Amino acid sequence: MGLIVQKFGGTSVANAERIRAAAKRIVETYKAGNQVIVVVSARGQTTDELIELAYEITDKPSTREMDMLMSTGEQISIALVAMAIHALGYPAVSFTGGQVGIVTDSYHTKARIRNINAQRIKKELDNGTIVIVAGFQGIDANENITTLGRGGSDTTAVALAAIMKADRCDIFTDVDGIYTADPRKVPHARKLNTISYDEILELASLGAQVMHSRSIEFAKKYNVPLYVRSSFNDKEGTLICKEAKEMENIVVSGVAVSKDDAKITIRAVPDVPGQAAKIFHEIAKRNINVDMIIQNASIEGRADVTFTVPRSDLREALNVAEKIKKDLGAKEVLHDSKIAKLSVVGIGMRSHCGVAEKMFSVLADEKINIQMISTSEIKISCVIDEAHADRALRTVHTAFGLDKVEKEEVVKV
Amino acid sequence: MGLIVQKFGGTSVANAERIRAAAKRIVETYKAGNQVIVVVSARGQTTDELIELAYEITDKPSTREMDMLMSTGEQISIALVAMAIHALGYPAVSFTGGQVGIVTDSYHTKARIRNINAQRIKKELDNGTIVIVAGFQGIDANENITTLGRGGSDTTAVALAAIMKADRCDIFTDVDGIYTADPRKVPHARKLNTISYDEILELASLGAQVMHSRSIEFAKKYNVPLYVRSSFNDKEGTLICKEAKEMENIVVSGVAVSKDDAKITIRAVPDVPGQAAKIFHEIAKRNINVDMIIQNASIEGRADVTFTVPRSDLREALNVAEKIKKDLGAKEVLHDSKIAKLSVVGIGMRSHCGVAEKMFSVLADEKINIQMISTSEIKISCVIDEAHADRALRTVHTAFGLDKVEKEEVVKV
């Protein structure tokens, strides 16, 4: 007998039929002898409808009142899920975030959980009751309703799993699990049985948005095993857990491509100490996230500084760059938003050599020019021309042996 | 400067336009130098939609989960009303029933308020903030969400007005005020400027359902003046307050007809002491509300007992009556559901004679047979054939001088 947290996303409770299907899964887990805590998101389009109601009233709704409004979405879901479990003849009780003592800070619409008073949940579980908790929400120290922002229901589930020391946290969603690459772009992408927190964190930040990185960081911190699976079928999903010995046999776990960045070059910056600091200090002041940075070798006392920023921040970053250009006496500012970032991720890289070399040579064979490179312990990213992105993704995916192979789970480089 | 509670019903906040109109009224009251507490119902069809969601899942939803579900309706409204007030540039904050300490018993879907901890409201009012409270809801001692049942938002408003010692409680609704009779049936019905709690209580129970009698009883108990008016126009409404001297000049304040009752007669009941008690004990055990009772004079040691029950309970009451017939050795059970109850109400009756006589003679002139009569200090009710109900209503209304007369407010008998 164990304690399982099960989280159902918005599409998994979008209508009565799906709510009944979710209830069936919950009851199966309960009948298998487990204590079950269920975390539910707002049904399908509910959140969008509530936002629309607010914007019919005002174009600048207060964040406190938005949280008051938005939190009703999950409250509706939990009541319906509890009813569906009752209809199957099993005991269940629903709670809002506030009712189970999920206390957050007061940053409305993007609050962070401070602590959870799990007494009430514990009592109900000990009574043999299935506990349904509204995801995405909590209350602050003054009992104002808060919401946790993007990926908030995942965060609720992981936080509850951590505090209750759950054996596992199931994330029911509309995909079958985590793939070696986006299956829409790479038809031969393979579903992974397991992946480490660190790998999925690198993949998440690259656009493979199965779960928000905040909740994965949380799961990593408290070592909560996450099991990502589809609520629409019974296929095996992907277990996200801490690094295991056998994972190291797989050098590359996934390949991802993102087209969310733009590149800025400040040309011929006088090469005296402190110039780079000045540039990135000004950018950071605007809350713009710089990802990759390259400074080429100095020629005649001047160097080119190139960096990437989110495309949505390009205009503002260019304004800053133009201002800096004058201040530093640089020559000109160039930019390119038609770039893509291709990344390979895998904890096996730590103990295996040659991953970077292989990636570069595959791209060279394809005559794809590498504009920038950045590496971490378990990731290599290359900036390339956006036009070649999907071809590069597929070629690299194949080169690292990630394509689907029947009856063979572990593929080595 | 005073403290005003303003309650807006579902039709008054049904869409963005109406919410903005409500916000304007609230702000006007605030700008006039008042502290304002606003109580809001769920928007228009929201409650029905939520009920439908529940019944898509199960035909026997638990009452606790129904309350969890239903209470979201008001929560959506309060957030939107607060936003609309913000949009006009005034300070407002919304609260759920639980957040402002409206503590009820645990009878889900029909809970009763036990106490209100008004500290939070007081603090916000003292800060100059307009306080928006979700009607219809509270929490029980274990912080489960409860709802107050029919007329619940009115009850919330009156209870807050009582505990906060408000100067007035405005009830904004979809009618202009209280009329001498239902204007749909009596085109010449006149709007009353004032009416006493007792009179409206008698009228409410007779089908003039502007407010639920529970909240009027509450207002009477705590002497909260209620001002019923339309949220769609600026016409003067009707003030419901405790009896005033001048009210006694108006003998009859209103006439109402209800078609919700049915009549049962148990014929030839042996006339020994305790028989009536037996009959009504059995009926009461089934939670059936008996309204009027007549026992005619005994003939040959047997009497007929006639009583009225709600039509919706007729079938069950007849079953009980048949059983009693056997037990008592009575002759037969008759019934008639084609009856109507015509009532005239007015606190002036206490000091004026001849009201009953006048009512009876008007009906006699119209050749309408009176089947049963019941009277209270301020009410006379007659059961008549349903077919004559509306004609009787209009004739009696006219006979008591209640028809609309230009430039004349007080009409004496």
User: Which of residues B148, B174, B200 is at a domain's end?
Assistant: B174
Lookup result for tokens 């938003």:
A337
Out of A151-155, B156-160, B163-167, which region has the weakest mean confidence (pLDDT)? Answer: A151-155
- Whole-angstrom distance, CA of residue B139 vs CA of residue A195: 44
Question: Which of A17, A19, A58, A81 would best serve as a mutation to test chain B binding (most B beta carbons within 10 A)?
Answer: A58
In the predicted model, what is the mean pLDDT of residues A243-261? 85
B126, B265: one domain? no
Which among B349, B332, B346, B336 is positioned nearest to B384, based on CA atoms? B336
Q: Find chain A residues with C-beta within 8 A of B117's C-beta.
A: none
pLDDT digits (tens, 9 = 90+) for A4-40: 999 999 999 999 999 999 999 999 999 999 999 999 9
**The last residue of a domain, from among B174, B192, B221:** B174
Contacts of A57 in chain B (CB under 8 A): 16, 19-20, 80, 83-84, 87
List of E strands, B148-274? 168-173, 194-196, 226-230, 238-241, 254-258, 261-270
Considering only CB atoms, B86 lies closest to which of A62, A94, A145, namely: A62
| Torsion sign across C-alpha atoms A216, A217, A220, A223 | negative
Residue A275 distance to chain B (closest CA, Å): 46
Q: Are residues B161 and B280 in the same domain?
A: no
Question: Residue B202's pLDDT is what?
Answer: 87
Q: pLDDT-derived band of residue A236, with 50, 70 and 90 as boundaries?
A: very high
Residues on chain A touching B60 (C-beta within 8 angstroms): 86-87
Whole-number pLDDT of residue A316: 93
A205: confidence class by pLDDT, cuts 50, 70, 90: low
Q: How far is A375 from chain B (nearest CA, A)?
A: 47
Q: Give residue A313's region: left, alpha or beta (phi > 0; psi -120 to 50).
A: alpha
* E runs forming strands in B99-249: 102-104, 113-116, 130-134, 137-139, 145-147, 168-173, 194-196, 226-230, 238-241
Instruction: Report the gap between the CA of A190 and the closest CA in chain B (Å).
Output: 37
Question: Of all helices (H) and strands (E), which one includes residue B84?
Answer: helix B63-87
Interchain CB distance below 8 Å, B68 and A79: yes
B118 touches chain A (CB under 8 A): no
Nearest Cα to Cα of residue B411 among B193, B255, B251, B188: B251
Q: How far is A151 from chain B (nearest CA, A)?
A: 22
Assess if residue A39 is contained within a domain.
Answer: yes
The verdict on A72 touching B (C-beta cutoff 8 Å) is yes
Which of B127, B146, B174 terminates a domain? The answer is: B174
Question: How far is Cα B403 from Cα B370, in angstroms, rounded to an integer?
Answer: 23
Check if the beta carbon of residue B221 is closer than 8 Å to that of residue B265: no
Partner B contacted by A145 (CB < 8 A): yes
Number of domains comprising chain A? 1
Instruction: Give residue B65's pLDDT.
Output: 98
Among A389, A396, A346, which Cα is nearest to A371's? A389
B198 domain residue, yes or no: no
Would you place residue B205 in the very low, low, confident or very high pLDDT band (cuts 50, 70, 90)? low
Contact list in B for residue A69 (CB cut-off 8 A) is 75-76, 79-80
- Residue A82, chain B, CB below 8 Å: the answer is yes
Mean pLDDT of all residues in B353-361: 90
Question: CA dihedral defined by A99, A102, A103, A105, rounded to 10 degrees?
Answer: -130
A401 interfaces chain B, CB cutoff of 8 Å: no
C-beta separation of B26 from B191 below 8 A: no
Instruction: Name the burial class of residue A283, with classes exposed (0-12), middle (13-18) and buried (19+) by CB atoms within 10 angstroms of its CB.
Output: buried
Are B146 and B273 in the same domain?
no
List the single range of A201-215, A374-388, B392-406 with lowest mean pLDDT: A201-215
> Given a cut of 60, is residue B97 above it in pLDDT?
yes
Instruction: Report ipTM for this prediction.
Output: 0.83
Instruction: Please check whether residue A149 touches B, CB under 8 A.
Output: no
Please tell me whether residues B258 and B401 are part of one structural domain. yes
Burial of B90 (0-12, 13-18, 19+ CB in 10 A): middle
Cβ–Cβ of A80/B54 closer than 8 Å? yes
Indicate the range of A211-215, A290-294, B258-262, B307-311 predicted with least confidence: A211-215
Nearest to A97 by CA among A80, A83, A111, A81: A111
Tens digits of residue pLDDT in B210-267? 788 888 999 999 999 999 999 999 999 999 999 877 777 778 999 999 999 999 999 9
Structure tokens at A6: 């099960």
Higher pLDDT, A383 or B246: A383
Is any Cβ of chain B less than 8 angstroms from the Cβ of A61?
yes
CB contact under 8 Å between B65 and A83, yes or no, is yes
Binning pLDDT at 50, 70 and 90, where does residue A412 land? very low
Given an 8 Å threshold on Cβ–Cβ distance, is B54 in contact with A79?
yes
Mean pLDDT confidence for B111-140: 96
Point out the residue among B65, B84, B94 whose CB comes nearest to the CB of A82: B65
From the list A54, A162, A69, A152, the residue with the least C-alpha distance to A111 is A152
Residue A413: per-residue pLDDT:
44
Q: Residue B318: what pLDDT?
A: 95
Task: Please give the backbone phi and psi of residue A12, each rounded to the nearest 5 degrees, phi first.
Answer: -80, -10
pLDDT confidence of residue B413 = 44
Q: Which residues contact B165 (CB under 8 A, 6 or more apart)?
A: B3
B326 shares its domain with B405: yes
Residue A23 is part of a domain; what is its CATH number?
Answer: 3.40.1160.10
Q: What is the pLDDT of residue A325?
A: 92
Contact list, B79 vs chain A (CB under 8 Å): 54, 65-66, 68-69
**Which SS3 state, helix, strand or coil, does residue A230 take?**
strand
Measured CA to CA in angstroms, residue A175 lies from A9, A40, A116, A192, B396 at distances of 11, 17, 30, 13, 71
C-alpha–C-alpha distance, residues B135 and A27, integer Å: 35
| Contact (CB<8Å) A65/B79 | yes
Give the pLDDT band (50/70/90) at residue B149.
Answer: confident
The candidate with the shortest Cα–Cα distance to A294, out of A282, A303, A302, A284, is A303
Are the CB atoms for A298 and A255 separated by under 8 Å? no
pLDDT band at B406; cut points 50, 70, 90: low
What is the predicted pLDDT for the residue at B87?
Answer: 98
C-beta atoms of A58 and B87 within 8 A: yes
Does A45 touch chain B if contact means CB atoms closer than 8 Å?
no
Closest residue, chain A, to B65 (C-alpha) = A79
Under 8 Å CB pairs connecting chains A and B tally to: 106
Q: Is residue B382 part of a domain?
A: yes
Put simply, whether A129 touches B (Cβ < 8 Å) is no
Name the CA radius of gyration of chain B, rounded. 24
Looking at beta carbons, which residues of chain B come within 8 Å of A98?
A: 98
What pLDDT does residue A353 have? 82
Note whether B160 and B303 are same-domain residues: no
Taking an 8 Å cut-off on Cβ atoms, the answer to whether B54 and A143 are in contact is no
As a whole-number percent, the residues of chain B with pLDDT over 90 amount to 73
Residue A397 is assigned to a structural domain of this protein: no
The pLDDT-based confidence of A207 (bands split at 50, 70, 90) is low
When pLDDT is cut at 50, 70 and 90, the band that residue B206 belongs to is: low
Tokens in use for B59? 């035909």
Does the pLDDT of residue B108 top 60, yes or no? yes
The 3-state DSSP composition of chain A as helix, strand, coil percent (nearest 5) reads: 40, 25, 35
- Whether A405 is in a domain gets the answer no
**Strand pairing report for A293-295 and A302-310:** antiparallel
- The reply to whether A251 falls in a domain is no
Is A87–B57 a contact, with Cβ atoms under 8 angstroms apart?
yes
B83 touches chain A (CB under 8 A): yes
A71 located within any domain: yes
What mean pLDDT is reported for chain A?
91
pLDDT over 90, % of chain A: 73
Q: Are strands B226-230 and B238-241 parallel, antiparallel or unpaired?
A: antiparallel
Domain that holds residue B369: 245-413
Chain A: give the shortest CA distance to residue B55, in Å: 9
Over the Cα atoms of chain A, what is R_g? 24
What CATH number is given to the structural domain containing B383? 3.30.2130.10
Could you report how far apart the first and last alpha carbons of chain A are, in Å? 40
Cα–Cα dist A353/A190, whole Å? 23
Residue A117: inside a domain, yes or no? Answer: yes
State which H helix or E strand residue A240 sits in.
Answer: strand A238-241
| Helix, coil or strand: residue B282 | helix
